[in-house]
Amino acid sequence: MPFEIKACTIDEMHRHPTFADRTQAKVKVVLREIGSRETFDHNLTLKVWANTNERMSKTEINTALLSRAATILKRTMSVADVEVASDGNVSRPPVSG
């Protein structure tokens, strides 16, 4: 079944309590699974962190956190035996043999 990433938002962002150069956040992801007859939305929460500093803007920090979330999501999808396209569409690889 193919998957699509429908939404990705940062929630609960804060500085790490021990490491001064690290920001933590929870990233909410809505993943839509498209079947032949039904469509299912899966709500995921990814715990992410990024190395940041006080000179970084909020936009740069958000980009770093979302990049980390994209890496985790791509790894998760590969474990689930699916592929993530550059446009965000996710689909199963063709079965061979």
Residue ranges and CATH numbers for the domains of the chain are: 3-91 (3.30.160)
Per the model's pLDDT, the better-predicted residue between 63 and 33 turns out to be: 63
**Mean pLDDT (whole number) for 77-93:** 65
CA–CA separation, 78 vs 56, rounded Å? 32
**Predicted confidence (pLDDT) per residue in 39-77, tens digit:** 888 899 999 999 999 899 999 999 999 999 999 888 877
pLDDT band at 97 (very low <50, low <70, confident <90, very high): very low
1 has pLDDT over 60: no
Count Cβ atoms below 10 Å from residue 90 Cβ, excluding itself.
Answer: 22
Overall pTM surpassing 0.75 (yes/no):
no
